[in-house]
Chains A and B, each alone.
Chain A
Amino acid sequence: MLRYVLKRVVIALLTVFVLATVTFFLSKLLPGDPFMNEKIPVSVQEKQRAYYGLDKPVIQQYFIYMGNLLRGDLGTSIKFVGRSVRDIIGEFFPVSAKLGLIALSFAEIIGLLFGILCAQYRNRWPDYVLMVFAILGIALPSMVVGPLIRYLFGVQLRWLPVGGWGKTWQQAIMPAFVLGLGTIAGNTRSMRACMLAVITQDYVKTARAKGMSPVRVVLKHELKNSLVPMLANLGPMIAGVLMGSFVVEQIFVIPGLGKHFVNAVSTLDYPLIMGLTIFYGAFLVVMNLLVDILYGWVDPRIRVK
């Protein structure tokens, strides 16, 4: 087991290294640089470039950056003058992560529940209703759902605050719902499929032959076995939701990490692009590793000896 984990950690580090390298050169391929500005004299621009080391050959910049990265230094942002990248992530990630955790936990629970209901009532009306919901949930983007429910519950009914963050817990309800909607829908669909595969298994017949009530059969025999394939996309799902969403955070005025993913690229803030990408990548890799370990715990057949 330890060998397995060690091997996976080495692969994970390698993955992050490749990710950092590719992102570095891709960001340098973008036309222009952060200091190109007609209003600023060229001599000043040159000085600014030299300050950030952007006047050196790209390959040399790369080695400097990787050297710093090895020491854990993600560099300083160009647009947020004087702030380190680590500082920026430290300030905005907790907000996104908190919202993401709320969204994810209720999306997982509701998604699994809907999936179970669909499978148990397959091809009857509860299944059809929930499947329509799931298809809508996947098909409707948050930029449509977000403003709609914000208008309905925030402006018209005035049940919930229209936006903001950190004052009341009600502020989290709508953004968490919009953020989790796709996850609920996706989970409903895959849980339905996973459970349908389990329902026809022979050991379910054994459980029924023991005189178990249908509800107990679901909880004790079908649920755990259906969760095994569900785990596969849990890692990317956690990483994706926790990293924040540009759209949702913009709509509900939430100071999360989402907007930086977009703004860093459009302002060519190289250190921030790199820092965010590596952070996301490392987070994803770690989540996948945790899920793989979880796999063995849920299904003894794939436990590594």
Chain B
Amino acid sequence: METSSHLLEVNDLAVSFFTYAGEVQAVRGISWYLNKNETIALVGESGCGKSVTIQTVMGLLQSPGRVTGGSVRFEERDMLGLSAKELRQLQGNRMTMIFQDPLSYLNPTMRVGEQIAESYRLHHKVSRSEAEARVLDMMHLISFPEPERNMYAYPHQLSGGMRQRIMVAMALICNPQVLFADEPTTALDVTIQAQIIELMNSLKEKLNTAIVLITHDLGVVANMAQRIYVMYAGKIVERGSAKDIFYRPKHPYTWGLLASVPRLDADQSRDFRYIPGTPPDLLNPPKGCPFAARCRYACRACVSSIPEEMAFDSEDHRASCWLYHPGAEALLAAAERERGMQR
């Protein structure tokens, strides 16, 4: 594999939370990579381990969470072996993060301009006025309304979309290599979502920042990501280019996710589609495929052992599912017939 060319590479990463109830295996051996100037998405429902993954990569994992295996390489450095001080030089500088709810993730008693400047001053030896000038530049770049006045505002005085722009400015002011966006649009209403997505896309072009997007919203993914990793119960169940995932999805979980995206052209009388059941308990992860309990095409093999990852039309489109085992041809045919009928 051409490992050296990737900007960020996660190999067989495993993270557990050691709680009183026992070891919760939040991330169970996942591998992914990110190239320069690329946007990828980690997609999955709540609790699938996507946020824990990027917290670990950024070195923000907190006790009782602990990395139990695997490696994270960023620009040829072993992230998991760095000292706290070395990590801090990367955090907020080379790799930054924006979060779901900009109101709760901004300090309520600090002016927003100061919060943006703080990121910059932590990593650059500049005077207060130089940092302020830089903040203004940044606010102009993201076309923030009236930056000269609004940089002195407090978070509660701004609208939700403006707050998220502040978060974006804060994350990008140091020209990071990687931006982690953890559900960046979930707390915003739809029109603002579109603006933020557009903003992130345009800034990515201007600043050459690679983005790792975390979301359960496939609509957002379609507008941003080139490659997609579908996560379920701490594992990657399918990965591929955006086209692969949207037009040739292979894993039944991906089918379920795609089917549960609300559609404007859908029959109004029909209920929203959803995936029945809940994700497995990661205190005692199932022996076989984690999705087996909720999968309508599951067979005995699914329950007893974890399927190998299989490549499909291209080397990069892979999924882990027993349906594609030579012995399950009849089942696969039935599943595809049913899916064909649904559409």
Contact = CB atoms under 8 A, between A and B. Distances in A.
B95 to A, nearest CB: 9
Contacts, number: 69
A301 to B, nearest CB: 5
Interface stretch (A40-48, A145-153, A200-208): A200-208
Contacts of A213: 88
Nearest to A222: B107
Interface stretch (B97-105, B234-242, B247-255, B307-315): B97-105
Contacts of A209: 58, 60, 91-92, 96-97
Contact of A301 (B58, B118, B154, B167): B154
A224 to B, nearest CB: 5
Contacts of A205: 60, 99, 105
B99 to A, nearest CB: 7
A211 B107 contact: no
A212 interface: yes
B143 interface: no
Interface size class of B (residues with CB under 8 A): 20 to 34
Interface string A225-252: 1001000000000000000000000000
B134 interface: no
Interface string B105-137: 111111000000011001100000000000000
Given A224-B109, A299-B109, A203 B104 contact: yes
B122 A211 contact: yes
Contacts of B101: 202
A210 B108 contact: no
Nearest to B167: A206
B177 interface: no
Contacts of B56: none
A18 interface: no
A256 B17 CA distance: 58
Interface residues of A, number: 21
Nearest to B88: A211
A211 B176 CA distance: 13
Given A211-B122, A301-B156, A202 B60 contact: no
Contacts of A221: 107, 110
B89 interface: yes
B89 A211 contact: yes
A207 B99 CA distance: 12
Contacts of B164: none
A8 B181 CA distance: 47
A202 B163 CA distance: 14
A211 B91 contact: yes
B156 A207 contact: no
A298 interface: yes
Please list the 8 inter-chain residue pairs (A to B) with the smallest Cβ-Cβ separation, ordered nearest first.
Answer: A211-B91, A210-B92, A211-B92, A202-B104, A211-B88, A203-B107, A300-B154, A202-B105
12 contacts: A203-B106, A203-B107, A205-B105, A206-B170, A208-B91, A210-B122, A210-B170, A211-B123, A212-B88, A212-B92, A224-B110, A300-B156
Interface of B: 58, 60, 87-93, 96-97, 99, 101, 104-110, 118-119, 122-123, 154, 156, 167, 170
